[in-house]
């Protein structure tokens, strides 16, 4: 809804209120809260009927309420002036105006407490001065009734304003919490997308690299040594099935309509000998060295250590060729160190995109560790990762 529409609707509501107050004041000659808060009708207890000027002032007070939410302070000034003028024109005490109380309440709701308090104080001071100078007749009872009524209107207005402020603050907090929740959700989605991307890259890149190497070897020896070619094709079939199983597991992670029974377990270091045998069948001799006492580690550490070894061997197979490689697992008290190095003389495969190295660095950083990759001291290439165990448990 546009601001113009809201303004028109507010004005119509206040105009209806102004007409209602005008009718009450015209019929009852104002509402008097004096004398035990009884309604004083026209002519009762000797109250004079309003003359033409009095009727104009009373109706002016009530009709001004149509603009009370548009210009509350101006409406209060109009009502206060009309009320004090009406009192000055009559020699006897006149009832307190209902329109004035509504104007005071509106200022207390819509303006700061300092403004409403100052306006009410000025009105009361002028009333007191008028009573002392005889310009506006005001009895003791009527003064205390007026004081209680005006202060009560201000306090009710303060209460309404405080309730609105609390509701607005609650809405702001709810909106802020909603924005924070959306930000956390987006961050979690991005992290999950990155994790899935790493898994897809590691599974597909490794298995496809092994299949390509074995297919190349099978093609070269197909005519002379058909049995070797057949073994290579059988290995390609096995690796292809493993790749399909891995992709099926990743697809299962993305689905929401499947149970836990369809989820295959994540690879761990227990499957490392199978990985090394697979790489050796592709033509890459690998030696595994274990230091320290092997022990079960958190699943996150074992998964990421497995993927780092897998990606490192895949890079050796693609870029260094069939050169001897070494995998070292060093079990220390607080961390697991993984090192993969080869004895190649330089890259022999196609240039890579670099995503594999980035993926390995992300895996180490996710566990609070670090990964260093670069040329070896004499020749070849070396990948070294430090994976904290305590951080993974937390």
**For position 331, what pLDDT does the model report?**
92
* Buried b or exposed e, range 44-73, using 16+ CB within 10 angstroms: eeebeebeeebeebbbbbbbbbbbbbeebb
* pLDDT for residue 106: 86
The predicted pLDDT at position 306 comes to: 92
Rounded to 10 degrees, the C-alpha dihedral 13/15/16/18 comes to 130
Of the options 3.30.565.10, 1.10.287.110, 3.10.290.10, 3.40.50.2000, the CATH number for the domain spanning 268-394: 3.30.565.10
pLDDT, residue 1, reads: 54
Residue spans per domain, the chain: 3-138, 268-394
Q: Which two tokens stand for residue 153?
A: 């209107």
Residue 243 · residue 203 · CB < 8 Å: yes
SS (H, E, C) 110-157: HCCHHHHHHHHHHHHHHHHHHHHHCCCCCCHHHHHHHHHHHHHHHHHH
Distance between first and last Cα of the chain: 50
What pLDDT score was predicted for residue 21?
A: 62
Walking along the chain (394 residues) 10 residues at a time, the average pLDDT comes out as 62 65 55 40 45 72 80 86 78 69 86 84 82 70 78 85 86 88 82 72 70 76 78 76 70 56 67 87 86 88 90 83 87 90 64 69 87 83 89 60
């Amino acid at each position: 809804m546009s601001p113009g529409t809201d303004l028109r609707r507010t004005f119509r509501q206040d105009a209806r209120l102004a007409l209602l107050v005008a009718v009450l004041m015209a019929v009852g000659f104002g509402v008097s809260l004096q004398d035990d808060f009884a309604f004083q009708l026209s002519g009762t207890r000797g109250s004079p009927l309003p003359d033409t000027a009095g009727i104009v002032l009373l109706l002016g007070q009530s009709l001004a309420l149509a603009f009370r939410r548009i210009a509350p302070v101006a409406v209060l000034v109009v009502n206060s002036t009309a009320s004090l003028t009406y009192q000055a024109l009559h020699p006897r005490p006149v009832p307190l105006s209902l329109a004035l109380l509504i104007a005071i309440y509106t200022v207390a709701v819509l303006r700061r407490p300092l403004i409403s308090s100052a306006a009410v104080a000025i009105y009361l001071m002028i009333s007191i001065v008028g009573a002392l100078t005889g310009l506006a007749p005001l009895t003791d009872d009527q003064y205390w009734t007026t004081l209680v009524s005006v202060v009560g209107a201000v306090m009710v207005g303060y209460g309404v304003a405080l309730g609105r402020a609390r509701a607005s603050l609650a809405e702001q907090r709810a909106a802020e919490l909603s924005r924070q929740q959306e930000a956390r959700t987006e961050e979690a989605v991005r992290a999950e997308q990155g994790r899935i991307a790493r898994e897809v890259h590691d599974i597909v890149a490794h298995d496809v690299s092994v299949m390509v190497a074995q297919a190349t070897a099978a093609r070269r020896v197909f005519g002379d040594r058909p049995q070797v070619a057949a073994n290579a094709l059988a290995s390609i079939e096995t690796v292809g099935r493993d790749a399909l199983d891995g992709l099926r597991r990743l697809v299962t992670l993305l689905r929401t309509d499947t149970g836990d029974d369809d989820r295959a377990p994540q690879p761990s270091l227990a499957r490392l000998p199978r990985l090394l045998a697979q790489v050796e069948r592709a033509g890459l001799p690998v030696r595994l060295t274990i230091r320290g006492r092997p022990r079960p580690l958190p699943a996150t550490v074992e998964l990421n250590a497995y993927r780092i070894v897998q990606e490192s061997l895949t890079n050796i197979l693609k870029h260094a060729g069939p050169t001897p490689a070494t995998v070292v697992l060093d079990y220390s008290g607080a961390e697991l160190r993984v090192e993969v190095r080869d004895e190649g003389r330089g890259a022999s495969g196609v240039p890579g995109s670099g995503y594999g190295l980035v993926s390995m660095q992300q895996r180490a950083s996710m566990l609070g560790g670090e990964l260093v990759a670069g040329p070896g001291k004499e020749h070849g290439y070396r990948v070294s990762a430090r994976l904290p165990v305590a951080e993974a448990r937390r």
